[in-house]
Amino acid sequence: MLNRVLEIAEENRYLSLKRGFIVIQQGTTELGSVPLDDIAVLLLSAQGITITKNVLNALSEKGCITVFCGQNYIPLSMVVPIASHTYFTKIIKTQINASEPFKKRVWQQIVNQKIKNQALSLKYCNKEPDAKLIEKIASLVKSGDPDNREAYAARMYWKFLFGDSFIRDKNGDGINSLLNYGYAIMRACMARAICAHGLIPSLGIHHDNNLNQFCLADDLFEIYRPIVDTLVYKLIEQNQTELTPEIKKALVNLLKIKVKTSEGESQVVQSMHYVTSSFVNALEDGKPNIELPVWEGNENGITIIE
């Protein structure tokens, strides 16, 4: 399977299944078709879309995620496959039985790496003094982050990155809509990796919202957010504030950025599987140490619109 994101952004589209292809139509006119085997994520961002049950079933059988977006590209729901992992029952038992100290230690590692990546983002955006201030916060993160260093770092980070007037608002437009789109792609791919490894996406490490079916995805993809932020900053520098097809493509291409893992350099989308696999191993071993890929904060793979 290719790690392709298929977005349906235009209104009044009809999606059906034909001989292993998703067929896209407007009325009786066929606009195109895409092989099922090529798709990792189906992103439904338009509001007037008709899709058959056969399409959703076929995507689930292939391990694909279908994302339904509301306004400003906020994911409202996902269709995820019920895990077909060989040891599904064994894995979910270890996930359910994970102790609070275990989860707190894992969350500490995630927050630490996220803040380090925020510092790298600022450094790459030529904000070296600000980057040093953020990086210092990473060393202050305790087990479970009881002092909420994550939120403290975020307040400073957004101010440094986008200015004093910027407020991170998932319902906002402009910068926020670009961030929403990039995050939606990353979150969906993380959910796909989680399901592929037999985990329950609703059982989080830190996130614990009864209305959120993807708490674990929200936990594990935190470290990738600064990669999205970096590209959005560069786009804003070029006065690119609208989600054009070209900008969407650039945000999707972030999945191809190279990060360092125990297997060497890997694309972001592949590294998510290493993260998830290491989390499964940690659950089974009872040792709260997971592999978090290292992003070097450089422009390797960050494509800016020309």
Distance CA 41, CA 47 (A): 17
For 233-243, the pLDDT digits (tens) are 999 999 998 88
Say whether pLDDT at 85 is over 90: no
Sequence ranges of the domains in the chain: 4-69, 88-285
Q: Which two tokens stand for residue 144?
A: 């479970």
3-class state of residue 179 by DSSP: helix
Decide if domain 88-285 falls under CATH 1.20.120.920: yes
Mean pLDDT for the chain overall? 89
Say whether pLDDT at 211 is over 90: no
Using 50, 70 and 90 to split pLDDT, how confident is the model at 84?
A: low
Distance CA 81, CA 64 (A): 7
Using 50, 70 and 90 to split pLDDT, how confident is the model at 41?
A: confident
Judging by beta carbons within 10 Å of its beta carbon (0-12, 13-18, 19+), is residue 244 exposed, middle or buried?
exposed
Instruction: Please name the fold of domain 4-69.
Output: Ribosomal Protein L15; Chain: K; domain 2 (3.100.10)
Distance CA 301, CA 293 (A): 15
